[in-house]
Amino acid sequence: MKIIMLGAPGAGKGTQAKMIAEKYSIPHVSTGDIFRANIKNGTDLGKEAKSYMDKGELVPDELTVRILLDRVAQEDCKNGYVLDGFPRTIPQAEVLQSELNKQGTDVDFAINVDVPDENIIKRMSGRRACVTCGATYHIEHVPPKTEGICDKCGSELILRDDDKEETVKNRLSVYHDQTQPLIDFYSAKGVLKNVDGTVDMMDVFNAITNILG
């Protein structure tokens, strides 16, 4: 099963993608997580990506596509995957499409997690992330057992550099310009499913599993 998560920054794509990955035993592939892991390890890729991410801009398509195609070519992806944060532009979607066509397969579902801009800014300021294992928390909705410490691996939790209010506003505007058109792209392909992302995260997940079966 090949699933794409669509939605604004902070809509809950990562939260849902992790649960989907676990339930359906497929890898969770997040381009944002790949970039952050590279930043943490000080790689050249990380340095380049960081210069865009810190401003809330998109990393250039060419670089992003290369990273993604590399990742989904790995053995664990052969029975499918859930893509979180990719594609984010029409050119990215077109490259993915032509790659899948070459392999004689296709995207099965594009799940759009719908959350209005007003809710987003509030959510982001409360998010805390573990850079070691990728787990995500929220100081009100999903607090860790010990403040500032990851339940899963014991590392320190951080407020992402790009979760500052000004940067979030820019990410939202980039989203509306460049990523929202993908809703029509996947709707035209007949694979788009909308879910209400403003409700409790378990209710969002139930809506998604009803769709995926």
The residues carrying an active-site annotation are: 13, 88, 127, 160, 171
Q: Return the amino acid letter for 123.
A: R
Q: Which does 38 bind (CB under 5 to 8 A by kind): Zn ion, ligand AP5, Mg ion, none?
A: none
Cβ 178 to Mg ion shortest distance, Å? 17
**Structure tokens, 80:** 């499918």
Compare residues 104 and 174 and give the one whose CB is closer to ligand AP5.
174
Label the pairing between strands 2-6 and 109-114.
parallel
Cβ 163 to ligand AP5 shortest distance, Å? 7
Cβ 96 to ligand AP5 shortest distance, Å? 10
**Structure tokens, 19:** 């649960």
Query: Which residue in this structure is represented by tokens 């959350």?
Result: 115
- Give SS3 for 84: strand
What are the residues binding ligand AP5 (CB under 6 A)? 7, 9-15, 31-32, 35, 52-53, 56-59, 64, 85-86, 88, 92, 123, 126-127, 136, 138, 141-142, 162, 171, 197, 200-201, 204
CA within 13 Å, CB half, 184: 7
